[in-house]
Amino acid sequence: MDAKVKNKINNIIAELNALARELDDISQGINREFKGIGAVKCASSLQSTAGKYQAVIQELRKM
């Protein structure tokens, strides 16, 4: 693989990691600050999205 392409992939991985961490942080904040089924659903949705980003990261690392 070309070095430029590998560098771009690594940059994308870094950005996705940052997004996944931010979603996790927001989800944890919602769980701490809010109560009720809406908060649980929202936090769960954010966790699910973070997990999907992590799956994409794993696929990119295989390249």
Q: Which two tokens stand for residue 21?
A: 């961490």
Return the pLDDT at 58: 97
pLDDT surpasses 90 at 1: no
Given pLDDT bands bounded at 50, 70 and 90, which one contains residue 63? confident
Q: Residue 7: pLDDT above 90?
A: yes
Q: Give CA–CA dist 36/31, Å, rounded.
A: 9
Residue 45: per-residue pLDDT: 96
What is the rounded average pLDDT for all residues in the chain? Answer: 95
CB count in 10 Å sphere of residue 18: 11
